[in-house]
């Protein structure tokens, strides 16, 4: 089965399973898991379709006949189609700002219906070992999907925020914006290395470190940062721990403390 078969225009109903088919019990479980996608909120849809891909991968090696492999492909297509349906339903619940093409040159609804599935299609099919190319390693595939999930969550938030900006002010305040997908990867790369050491935390400081060009190989580079609104200095601590040569100035009125 090619990765191209995961396009939305091939969402077809798989033929019914028969009880005497080898592996039919496992395939029915996959069908049930696929249908559960339509019951989950969008925040869980990516995780559920990823679990389905992993299940398909594990069971693919157990199937001997061409008929059983065809049914496995059918179950996977069914799951993908329910995933697309879940995203379409979610896009219909967005506020008005989610339908507006903002300074990002994208709308949140378009991101859900088109961009996210387009990005996930190939890595998920290769994770399921049902694509034409070489299957992704399990850890590699899960890492790619996790990265896409993290970055598209942020992308959607930015699209809705800038959609509201477009509704209220047009392009008078924000003429053009760009979402840097690579910023999330920097944090995930660090988190993976920490996970091997027994701890893994993603932090918003990772985005700032990426923007400042302060990756693991540039910890001695001097940069000057002013933070407005320090609160408990959690951000400052994360920045300075990752980049000791950073020159940081924090500004905060601490009005709550002065009135306490």
Report pTM.
0.68
Sequence-ordered list of residues with C-beta below 8 angstroms from that of 155, at least 6 positions apart, any chain: 111, 115, 179, 181
- pLDDT tens for the chain, 260 residues long, are 343 344 334 565 444 444 444 445 555 665 565 555 555 556 677 888 888 888 888 877 776 677 777 777 778 888 888 888 888 888 888 999 999 999 999 999 999 999 999 999 888 888 887 766 677 788 888 888 887 887 888 899 999 999 999 999 999 999 999 988 777 666 655 555 554 444 445 677 888 888 888 876 677 788 999 999 898 888 899 889 888 899 999 999 887 665 55
Contacts of 60 (CB under 8 A, 6+ apart): 69, 72, 128, 129, 130
H helices within 170-233, ranges in order? 182-196, 205-211
């Amino acid at each position: 089965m090619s990765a191209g078969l995961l396009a939305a225009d091939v969402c077809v109903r798989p033929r019914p399973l028969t009880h005497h088919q080898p592996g039919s019990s496992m395939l029915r479980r996959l069908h049930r898991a696929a249908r559960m996608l339509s019951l989950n909120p969008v925040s869980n849809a990516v995780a559920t379709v990823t679990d389905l891909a992993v299940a398909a991968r594990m069971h693919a090696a157990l199937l001997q006949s061409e008929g059983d492999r065809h049914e496995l492909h059918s179950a996977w297509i069914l799951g993908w189609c329910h995933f697309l349906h879940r995203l379409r339903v979610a896009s219909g619940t967005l506020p008005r700002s989610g339908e507006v093409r903002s300074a990002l040159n994208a709308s949140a609804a378009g991101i859900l219906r088109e961009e996210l599935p387009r990005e996930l299609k190939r890595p998920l099919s290769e994770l399921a070992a049902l694509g034409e190319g070489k299957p992704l390693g399990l850890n590699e595939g899960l890492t790619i999907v996790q990265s896409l999930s993290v970055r598209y969550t942020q992308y959607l938030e930015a699209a809705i925020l800038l959609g509201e900006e477009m509704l209220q002010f047009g392009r008078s305040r924000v003429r053009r914006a760009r979402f840097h997908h690579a910023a999330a990867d920097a944090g995930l790369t660090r988190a993976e290395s920490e996970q091997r050491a027994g701890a893994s935390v993603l932090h918003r400081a990772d985005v700032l470190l990426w923007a400042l060009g302060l990756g693991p190989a540039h910890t001695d580079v001097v940069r000057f940062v002013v933070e407005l609104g320090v609160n408990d200095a959690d951000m400052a601590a994360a920045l300075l721990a990752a980049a000791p040569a950073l020159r940081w100035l924090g500004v905060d009125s601490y009005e709550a403390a002065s009135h306490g």
